[in-house]
């Protein structure tokens, strides 16, 4: 979605399409922070301005969304959300990164997640919303369960995290449920 005027507002955050002006040292720093990417495959990569521009460009001309999460309080960027839309199936797979660790545990992630999820599930063309996370990502599991998503399936011992095989949990919520 290219329109610059598009935005979604929650109680605590504003979501806007990610723009090249959002790529700065702080943003690149989130992606290179081992604590932020601890449970993501991004931890195997080193990010820089170029890799961020390439990632942003991968959304252009698609149905998918890449949005910056800003605090309503002071407009400070604190993270990003992604949504991969399969138009022919009426499904959306969402992801989130609250990159500014100083605001973790304050409800911003929950608000960003709920705001984007409810916007999609309010659309007639979307049947189902999905997301996945490692079983050791307790914050993400809590966030998905509290947003009304249900555990759909488990891929046992799917990835190695800090030397141990970990399950990946897949959650879902249906339109109208």
**Residues of the shown chain interacting with ligand COA in the complex, contacts defined by CB under 6 A:** 36, 39-40, 79, 95-98, 104-110, 133, 137-140, 142-143
Q: Between 87 and 142, name the residue whose CB sits nearer to ligand COA.
A: 142
Q: Between 2 and 118, name the residue whose CB sits nearer to ligand COA.
A: 118
Cα torsion 146, 149, 155, 157 to 10°: value is: 0
Rounded least distance, CB 90 to ligand COA, Å: 22
Q: How far from the centroid of its chain's Cα atoms is residue 85's Cα?
A: 13
Q: Between 7 and 138, name the residue whose CB sits nearer to ligand COA.
A: 138
Rounded least distance, CB 50 to ligand COA, Å: 22
Q: Between 49 and 106, name the residue whose CB sits nearer to ligand COA.
A: 106
Helices (H), the chain: 25-31, 49-57, 108-121, 138-146
In sequence order, the 6+-apart residues with CB closer than 8 A to the CB of 48 are: 28
Tokens 């304050």: give the residue.
Answer: 106
Rounded least distance, CB 101 to ligand COA, Å: 8
Dihedral pair phi/psi, residue 167, rounded to 5°: -70, 155
Rounded least distance, CB 111 to ligand COA, Å: 7
Q: Report residue 137 as tokens.
A: 């990502």
């Amino acid at each position: 979605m290219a329109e610059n005027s598009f935005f979604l507002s929650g109680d605590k955050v504003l979501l806007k399409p990610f723009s090249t002006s959002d790529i700065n040292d702080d943003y690149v720093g989130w992606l290179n922070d081992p604590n932020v990417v601890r449970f993501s495959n991004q931890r195997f990569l080193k990010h820089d301005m170029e890799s961020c521009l390439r990632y942003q460009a991968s959304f252009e001309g698609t149905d998918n969304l890449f949005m910056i999460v800003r605090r309503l309080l002071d407009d400070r960027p604190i993270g990003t959300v992604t949504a991969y839309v399969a138009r022919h199936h009426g499904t959306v797979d969402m992801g989130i990164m609250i990159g500014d660790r100083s605001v973790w545990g304050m409800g911003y992630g929950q608000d960003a997640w709920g705001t984007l999820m409810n916007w999609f599930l309010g659309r007639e063309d979307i049947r189902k919303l999905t997301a996945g996370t490692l079983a050791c990502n307790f914050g993400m599991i809590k966030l998905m369960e509290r947003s009304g998503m249900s555990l759909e399936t488990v891929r046992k011992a799917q990835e190695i995290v800090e030397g141990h095989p970990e399950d990946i949990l897949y959650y879902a919520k249906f339109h109208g449920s």
